[in-house]
């Protein structure tokens, strides 16, 4: 798979359609679903708000569309329960109109999105799934180019597997010739007035079961043509899809950062009174607490120093002095996130974190995965780029005597080569 750079600041990619589109193009991004199949656990955010490559799936998808030079406007359609998620994870990062709320079916949601464009109607509209962040300029170009001669055009892939129909007991009843079969992707593009009219007409007729816009257009008698889609333009459906997409985007973003730095961090906190310790961003019940000005999370403190070390930017005490009352009792995630942000501000990225605790107790192993997940979330990293380990000091020294906990960390950070003076 070719490397891809996905920052908003990229130069607009070459587009064949940009120069020839005889009109304005808007995109309706459909994000009204609840996506329960991708939830790793109940209570997880809907998949369009899960992060891949450090930002929400829907933000990645919209950014891709906005990078296409012919697309002048994106209209998101979101679930009414997702206002806060959209406001926090998408709105601050992209220049967008207000999202509209979706309906009970995908068909309703698209119609509401189309109606929201009616005040300033575009000539053409692309309808695109929020959970297809790998849409390419080439696919968009092919859809737009086909609209010169057709009411509608959709990205699709020819079926290459043999297709079977089965009965309820999974016994094959038919082998279906695949020669003229295609699977539909998005974007699906249309002349805007024609698609809006088709959606209104089908809604008036009481049909609500059409699962894509081509079906709405077909129902209304419009001509819809197929253009070649892209196997990489996958719909992120399962938790495994999200994990793969996250790893792919993160690796792609790091590939353009050749200046590899390694930093180390070390921290110690002494045990004191309490019933729990905060380690690696999570609270662990214990027969004592850890003394400290903040929440005394030695793990996150060591990681923060490792990242600051990698970019030669002082240490945790310089940025967050213990003498400053605003850091009293604070969640140390604040320090770690700020260190990551200092890397991002220099155009870089954190590639890997490795954290080791030295203590006799509590046992770290049972909490390792929770710590990795929390650290990954704080840093906007895939979990497979975060390691958490533990060892004892064989009852020697202050950790061996259970007087405190030590933590060591290394951070691998990648920066661009074109550093300004003084770096």
Would you tell me which residues interact with Mg ion (CB under 5 A)? Answer: 267, 301
Tokens in use for 333?
């995630």
Query: C-beta of 16: minimal distance to Mg ion in Å?
Result: 56
Query: C-beta of 335: minimal distance to Mg ion in Å?
Result: 9
Spatial CA neighbour of 278 closest among 335, 326, 323:
335
Between CA 158 and CA 142 the distance in angstroms is 15
Query: C-beta of 304: minimal distance to Mg ion in Å?
Result: 9
Spatial CA neighbour of 83 closest among 96, 99, 97, 60:
99
Q: Please, which residue, 267 or 354, has the CB nearer to Mg ion?
A: 267
Q: Please, which residue, 88 or 330, has the CB nearer to Mg ion?
A: 330
Q: Please, which residue, 129 or 267, has the CB nearer to Mg ion?
A: 267
Query: C-beta of 373: minimal distance to Mg ion in Å?
Result: 22
**Contact between residue 336 and residue 288 where contact means Cβ atoms under 8 Å apart:** no
Place of tokens 């997940």: 373
Query: C-beta of 301: minimal distance to Mg ion in Å?
Result: 4
Q: Please, which residue, 298 or 413, has the CB nearer to Mg ion?
A: 298
Q: Which residue is nearest to Mg ion (CB)?
A: 301
Listed as own residue / partner, the contacts of 8-12 with beta carbons closer than 8 Å and 24 or more positions apart are: 8/63, 8/66, 8/67, 8/93, 8/94, 10/67, 12/67, 12/68, 12/69
Tokens in use for 85?
């998620």
- What are φ and ψ of residue 165, in 5° steps? -110, 140
Q: Please, which residue, 51 or 399, has the CB nearer to Mg ion?
A: 399
Query: C-beta of 300: minimal distance to Mg ion in Å?
Result: 9
Angstrom CA distances, 393 to 195, 216, 361, 402, stand at 69, 68, 11, 10
Residue 230: is the preceding peptide bond cis (ω within 30°)?
A: no
Q: Please, which residue, 226 or 405, has the CB nearer to Mg ion?
A: 405
């Amino acid at each position: 798979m070719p490397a891809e750079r996905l920052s908003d600041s990229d130069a607009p990619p070459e587009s064949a359609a940009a120069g020839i589109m005889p009109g304005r193009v808007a995109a309706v991004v459909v994000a009204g679903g609840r996506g329960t199949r991708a939830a790793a656990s109940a209570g997880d955010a809907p998949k369009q708000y899960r992060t891949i490559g450090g930002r929400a799936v829907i933000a990645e998808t919209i950014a891709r569309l906005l990078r296409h030079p012919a697309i002048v406007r994106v209209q998101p359609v979101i679930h009414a329960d997702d206002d806060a998620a959209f406001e926090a994870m998408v709105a601050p990062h992209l220049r967008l109109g207000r999202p509209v709320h979706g309906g009970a079916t995908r068909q309703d949601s698209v119609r509401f999105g189309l109606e929201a464009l009616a005040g300033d109607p575009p000539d053409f509209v692309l309808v695109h799934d929020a959970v297809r962040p790998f849409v390419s300029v080439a696919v968009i170009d092919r859809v737009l180019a086909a609209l010169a001669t057709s009411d509608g055009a959709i990205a699709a892939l020819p079926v290459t597997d043999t297709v079977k129909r089965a009965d309820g007991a999974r016994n094959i009843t038919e082998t279906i010739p695949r020669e003229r079969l295609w699977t539909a992707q998005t974007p699906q593009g249309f002349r805007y007035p024609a698609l809006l009219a088709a959606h209104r007409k089908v809604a008036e007729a009481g049909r609500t079961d059409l699962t894509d816009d081509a079906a709405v257009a077909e129902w209304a008698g419009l001509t819809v043509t197929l253009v070649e889609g892209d196997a990489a333009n996958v719909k992120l459906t399962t938790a495994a899809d999200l994990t793969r997409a996250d790893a792919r985007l993160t690796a792609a973003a790091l590939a353009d950062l050749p200046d590899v730095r390694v930093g180390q961090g070390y921290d110690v906190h002494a045990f004191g009174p309490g019933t729990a310790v905060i380690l690696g961003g999570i609270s662990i019940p214990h027969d004592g607490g850890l003394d400290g000005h903040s929440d005394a999370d030695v793990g996150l403190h060591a990681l923060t120093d490792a990242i600051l070390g990698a970019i030669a930017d002082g240490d945790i005490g310089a940025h967050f002095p213990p003498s400053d009352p605003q850091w009293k009792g604070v969640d140390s995630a604040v320090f770690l996130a700020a260190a990551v942000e200092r890397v991002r501000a220099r155009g870089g990225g954190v590639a890997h974190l490795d954290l080791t605790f030295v203590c006799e107790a509590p046992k770290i192993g049972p909490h390792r995965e929770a710590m990795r997940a929390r650290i990954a979330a704080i840093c906007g990293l895939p979990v497979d780029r975060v390691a958490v380990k533990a060892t004892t000091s064989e009852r020697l020294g202050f950790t061996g005597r259970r007087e405190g906990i030590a933590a060591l960390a290394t951070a691998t950070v990648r920066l661009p080569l074109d550093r300004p003076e003084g770096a």
